[in-house]
Amino acid sequence: MAGETLILALESSCDETAAAVLRGEREVLSDIVASQAEIHAEYGGVVPELACRAHAESVVPVVEKALKKAGAEVEELSAIAVTQGPGLIGALLIGLSFAKSLAWSKNIPLVPVNHLEAHISAAFVEEEGAALDGQPFVGLVVSGGHTSIYYSKERGSYRLMGQTLDDAAGEAFDKVAKIMGLGYPGGVVIDRLAKEGDPNRFKFPRPMLDKSEFDFSFSGLKTALRTHVEKYMGNLEGQELNDTCASFQDAVVEVLVTKTFRAVKSSGAKNLVVCGGVACNSRLRQKLAETAQKRGVNLVIPRPRYCTDNAVMVAASGRQRFLAGIRADLTLNAIPTWPLEE
């Protein structure tokens, strides 16, 4: 029976309204994402009220599209999985309310999902990730809202090893991009400009590289970059801009890679999963792959589409939880701060 599950999943925790249909463990029948990036771009970050309005407008068409593309009828679904938290409360409530009404009206099991566990679950949709099932791994979740390292003895059980003490890595990318006037979300722009830049041109701090074993801090790096940009009095452009992006990115990547492999070594795990929006970063992917190869660590990073917010990852986590018997009723409420390790 397990291989025959058909899961509809909804994601609305931040600025993407997404729905997906997953058959069995890894067969993605549809994967629809309505991004609000353009709406938030002029503010340089997510505006919660605008996010809620856009989710409310998109949720029905996005779910309809996902079901249609999958060729699935609501009546055939094994369960509806929905992100319960962490995230923006108003944004979460839109996905939750819709999922609850659909599940209730059609009498389909409703399964609440943790957004961070969903990010990790994206790895198990990939072929090389599926091979990890049942084995211990270290997971780095690196996104716009989170930068945390977990030890997982097996899927579904997580121990927090380290986390950021201030900004998340993606937040640092976005804030620094805003300082340089590069638009929102900034990570992808910095990644692109950095390809034409020299990462050794400017020396930015590597916060807490030698201290606090597995914790991160990115706010000092952001301040260093602001001071650097101010020196150019609004004229940071061309090669200087590319070199600044490359040097900043290098600092973030070095800290992420060093701490993550330190955690892998200390845990004794042979497997590493890296996920979340920042896991799209080309330099991070390259440095992780090089280091994993050198140290004989089995590395799984989901394809970029499954790293940024999407509903396939929610379906993958939802399926696990559905099979474990986890169900929600109509009292289900959003949990804006829901630690993964609970």
The least distance separating ligand KG4 from the CB of residue 77, rounded to whole angstroms, comes to 25
Query: Residue 288: CA atoms inside 13 Å, Cβ hemisphere, count?
Result: 26
Per DSSP, the three-state class of 225 is: helix
The listed partner (ligand KG4, Zn ion, none) that binds 19, CB under 5 to 8 Å by sort, is: none
Shortest separation between residue 175's beta carbon and ligand KG4, angstroms: 9
The CA radius of gyration of the chain, in Å to the nearest whole number, is: 20
277 lies in the binding site for ligand KG4 (CB under 6 A)? yes
Give CA separation, 274 vs 29, 129, 164, 310, 315, in Å: 24, 11, 16, 16, 18
Tokens 């929610």 sit on residue: 314
CB nearer Zn ion, residue 271 or residue 308 = 308
| Shortest distance in whole angstroms from residue 75 CB to ligand KG4 | 32
- In the region spanning residues 174 to 213, those forming contacts with ligand KG4, defined by CB under 6 A, are 174, 185-188, 191
Question: Considering the complex, what minimum distance in angstroms separates the CB of residue 276 from Zn ion?
Answer: 6
Taking CB under 6 A as the criterion, the residue among 5, 84, 121, 143 binding ligand KG4 is 143
* Count of residues near ligand KG4 by CB under 6 A: 19
Angle between helices 115-125 and 312-323 (to 10 degrees): 100
Nearer to ligand KG4, 30 or 308 (CB): 308
125 or 236: whose CB is closer to Zn ion?
Answer: 125
**Whether residue 86 has a cis bond before it, omega within 30° of 0:** yes
Alpha carbon distance 271, 144 (integer Å)? 24
Residue 11 sits in the site that holds ligand KG4 (CB under 6 A): no
In which element (H, E) is residue 178 found? helix 169-179
Residues near Zn ion (CB under 5 A) are 143, 309
Smallest distance, Å, CB 313 to Zn ion? 8
Tokens of 176: 């620094």
How far is the C-alpha of 286 from the C-alpha of 61, rounded, in Å? Answer: 37
Q: Give the footprint of ligand KG4 on this chain (CB under 6 A).
A: 14, 143-145, 170, 173-174, 185-188, 191, 276-278, 280-281, 308-309
